[in-house]
Structure formats: C-alpha cells, structure tokens
C-alpha cells in the first residue's frame, strides 16, 4: 500500500523542452562540474551531436536496443557522462523525434488572405507537399511513429511543421470551427499510411529482401492457403500488386488517390460553407 501511494504521488513527466520539468521516477544524477569531451576531441560532444548519433542508432537498431550505455559506447564516452546533457533516455527519444521532424520540408510562411476566411488557391499543392514530408518522416524512421502521443512533441522542428500546417489550413477558406477537423483528416491519415509503410520497409530490410520480393513471397504464401485466398478474393483484392508494376508504384498511387479524396472533401466543405453564408 505504501509503495502504491508513493507511486501515485510521483509527478508526471512533461517534456525535455520545458524548463523545470519533473524527473522520471525521481531519479537524480550527479553532473560533473564541466561537460565531458568525446574521446580524442575535447569540443565534439554536445547535445546536438548526441541527438544525431541517437537518431543514427535508432534507425540502425530500433528502439528496443537503444540505451544510454549503447549510445555512450558509440560516442566514446561513459554512460554517466551523458547525464550532463540529458536527464533520461526519454529525453533522448524526445530530442530524436524532434530532430527527424527537421527533415520535413516546410514552406515559407505566407499571410492569411484578407478578409479572414478568404481562400488562397494554392492551398492544395501546399497541403500535398506537407503531407508528403510528414509521410517521409515515418517511412525513413519507423521508430518515430510510436513516439507521437507518448511525448508532447513540442520541440522547435515539430512546432515549425505544425505552424506551417495551420497556416495552410487557415488559407483554405474553411470556417475556424472546422479547421482542426481538416487537419485531423489529412494528417492522421498520413500518420497511419506512413507508419504502415515504414514498418513494411523495415520488415523487408530485416528479411534481406526488396519490397517487391517480400510482397511476392507473402502473396505466394497466401495463394497457397485456400482459406486465405478465398478471403482475399471476397474483398476483391487481386494477388498481384493491384495493377501496379512495383509495390512502391502501388503505394504512391494509393497515397495520391487518398489525398485527392481528402482535398476534394475539404473543397466540397468549403463550397458548402460559402453557399450557406448569406
């Protein structure tokens, strides 16, 4: 009972980006008076380099093998020396998540059309570019998608991207009350699409196969199982990659069609709202 009550009083972790954030599980680490230097280079170790190496390890080995000890070994320092720069492994994961958001292409901010609610005719192309960049984050870094929601994701790169999305949505000509729904429709779709794609790419890499080889292997196995083959046939899903020559071509087509439908839906909503306005 005492242990349970003690756990209940532990402060929730907030974010590495917030000053004075509570420490996870109350752990405290004694920091040296001066930051440690990487082996052979007294100026090489800083939080940016630690984050870059963390991302590289996460890409290569996944989050399951990622640890402070493994990172320290890669950097050529002791594990305890990392605590001069970060408090916990969670801090490193949050820093790494924001780092990969920095790879997304963000357009230069543009003014909202006047009067407020007017439509910028370029918004579909801008939205598509942001959606493609968002997708690439999860395809290139499959470990990143499970961290969305686990952390606040309020770092500078993620905030820059979020602000760009909101800027484009404000130029769609939608009423303010439906703008958040438009963001959810597009970017929750992209999150799901990119997450599944990224995990598939990782699975193929782990198997030592190309995406097309893995697809043919999987579909061939399904074709050999009468029950599975019947289930796929009942949904109208052909065994071949749905008329495309490669898995990547199939995926690009599906992504573009889905975005077309979402853009058309947003446009229809905008027109409907404009028609209802006296």
Which residue from 101, 255, 127, 259 is spatially nearest to 193, judged by alpha carbons? 255
**pTM more than 0.85:** no
Alpha-carbon dihedral 257, 262, 268, 272, rounded to 10 degrees: 170
Each of the 278 residues of the chain gets a pLDDT tens digit; together they read 445 555 555 567 789 998 665 444 333 334 444 455 544 453 468 899 999 999 999 999 999 999 999 999 999 999 998 988 999 999 999 999 999 999 998 877 665 555 545 566 789 999 999 999 999 999 999 999 999 989 999 999 999 999 999 999 998 988 888 999 999 999 999 999 999 999 999 999 999 999 999 988 988 888 788 777 777 665 555 545 556 789 999 999 999 999 999 999 999 998 887 555 54
CB of 17 within 8 A of CB of 154? Answer: yes
Instruction: Please report, in angstroms and rounded to a whole number, the separation of the first and last CA atoms in the chain.
Output: 64
Structure tokens at 38: 């990487």
List domains and CATH numbers for the chain.
Answer: 10-23+31-101 (1.10.10.60), 123-208+241-276 (1.10.357.10)
Tell me how far apart the alpha carbons of residues 23 and 110 are, in angstroms, rounded to a whole number: 39
Grouping H, G, I as helix, E, B as strand and the rest as coil, residue 41 is strand
């Amino acid at each position: 009972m005492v242990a349970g009550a003690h756990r209940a009083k532990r402060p929730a972790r907030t974010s590495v980006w917030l000053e004075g954030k509570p420490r996870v599980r109350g752990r405290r680490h004694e920091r040296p008076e001066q930051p440690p230097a990487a082996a052979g280079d007294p100026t090489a170790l800083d939080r940016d380099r630690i984050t870059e190496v963390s991302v590289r390890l996460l890409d290569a080995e996944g989050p399951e093998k990622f640890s402070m000890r493994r990172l320290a070994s890669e950097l050529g320092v002791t594990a305890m020396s990392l605590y001069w720069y970060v408090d916990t492994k969670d801090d490193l994961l949050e820093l790494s998540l924001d780092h990969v958001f920095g790879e997304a292409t963000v357009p230069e901010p543009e003014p909202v059309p006047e009067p407020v609610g007017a439509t910028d005719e370029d918004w579909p192309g801008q939205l598509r570019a942001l959606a493609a960049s968002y997708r690439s984050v999860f395809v290139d870094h499959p470990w990143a998608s499970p961290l969305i929601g686990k952390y606040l994701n309020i770092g500078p790169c993620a905030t820059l991207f979020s602000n760009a999305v909101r800027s484009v949505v404000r130029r769609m000509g939608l009423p303010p009350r439906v703008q958040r729904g438009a963001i959810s429709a597009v970017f929750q779709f992209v999150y799901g699409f990119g997450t599944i794609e990224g995990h598939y790419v990782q699975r193929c890499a782990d198997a030592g196969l190309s995406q097309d080889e893995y697809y043919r292997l999987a579909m061939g196995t399904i074709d050999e199982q009468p029950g599975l083959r019947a289930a796929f046939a009942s949904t109208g899903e052909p065994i071949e990659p749905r008329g495309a020559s490669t898995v990547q071509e199939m995926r690009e087509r599906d992504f573009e069609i889905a975005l077309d439908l979402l853009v058309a839906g947003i446009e229809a909503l905008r027109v409907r709202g404009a028609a209802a306005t006296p």
